[in-house]
Amino acid sequence: MEKTNGEVLYFLLSLLLSIFLFLPISECGRAQAMFIFGDSLIDNGNNNFIPTIAKANYLPYGIDYGFPTGRFCNGLTVTDYGAKLLGLPFPVPYLSLQSKTTQILQGVNYASAAAGILDATGRHYGGRISFNGQIALFEKTVTTQLPFLIPNLIKLSDYLSSSVFVINIGSNDYINNYLLPNLYSTSREYTADAFADLLISNFERQLKSLYMLGVRKMLLVGIGPLGCIPSQLYQHNSTDGSCIEIVNKQVSLFNERLVPLLLKLNSTLQGSFFVYENIYDTFVDLVQNPASYGFKEKNQACCGSGKYGGQLSCLPLQVPCAERDAFIFWDSFHPTQAANKIVAERCYSPLATDCLPISGYMLAQL
């Protein structure tokens, strides 16, 4: 009998856990800092400093933070909550840093809205720092900035190997590349399977680059059910608010390849440990059972224009919904801080189950 995707995923993660029990993990102990790579889901201000239309440095973004910071949310992101749960400070945006500041020791956020695994992704927004670009900035941090703060090479290596690296990238390679056939040719050049293969092969090379720079503890976030976000509901003219299944199936192809990649890297990159955050199933559960999480609106953006708030994302000084904690989605693309808090707790808490084979909290303690 053919196994379902869920059964295959369970088997692979069980195998990953068995590998974990025998891995030569670094003995440096609790994470000293968090380093973040990704896109607008966790960008906390880098795009404020580059010429791009992908910005969130205006109200009502940040309305529940107290002021706009560049976060694409009404308040905190998943990694903000994750850092809090790990007892770590919020990593500062890389582009806001002075070259020799000691703030670097508390971790750095390299994430950039509109960024993707592929360099071309998001180009219609103008400036953005692709994942390759973020890795290049991290290399600069490791080779020229951190040695000034930690001159001892052994201590520097221990610092990097004990820190947690969160990588949340890939969504834009679909919603701002593959799923925009009028602007990008990828959907004509690649089948959905071939495109997922392309992303994974690039992603593997990029993760190995981070490993070569001293990174050891990596938390890789899968792609969420993009067919459920307001922008896709609007684009596909969903009549009843149901998720667009063809989109969800396409992004699932990436996730299905991500766990085997983790297995491969864990078994070949000595001293490394990779954790998978299954954000896809978490968000499907939120959308299918909103009331059980305290939400009243499952597919309507709190701040946006058009059907589902998916035609145009949150505009400057636009009046958002009043009950923001009752909405899963803040704007056309991004969750509210209420949804982000739930996602973070299901990964970064000590007994969390959505990060596998161990929680983000456990990863930080290795």
Is residue 275 within 8 A of residue 220, CB to CB? The reply is yes
Structure tokens at 81: 């909550």
The residue type at 256: E
40 is catalytic: yes
285 is catalytic: no
Buried b (16+ CB within 10 A) or exposed e, 76-110: bbbbbbbbebbebebbbbbbbeeeeeeebbbbbbb
DSSP strand pairing (304-305 vs 34-38): unpaired
Pairwise CA distance, residues 31 & 362, whole Å: 10
39 is catalytic: no
Residue of 158, 163, 252, 334 marked catalytic: 334
Residue of 40, 163, 171, 231 marked catalytic: 40
Residue of 331, 332, 354, 359 marked catalytic: 331
Structure tokens at 300: 């309507």
Pairwise CA distance, residues 93 & 52, whole Å: 16
Q: 245-268 vs 192-212: helix axis angle to the nearest 10?
A: 30
Active-site residue set: 40, 331, 334
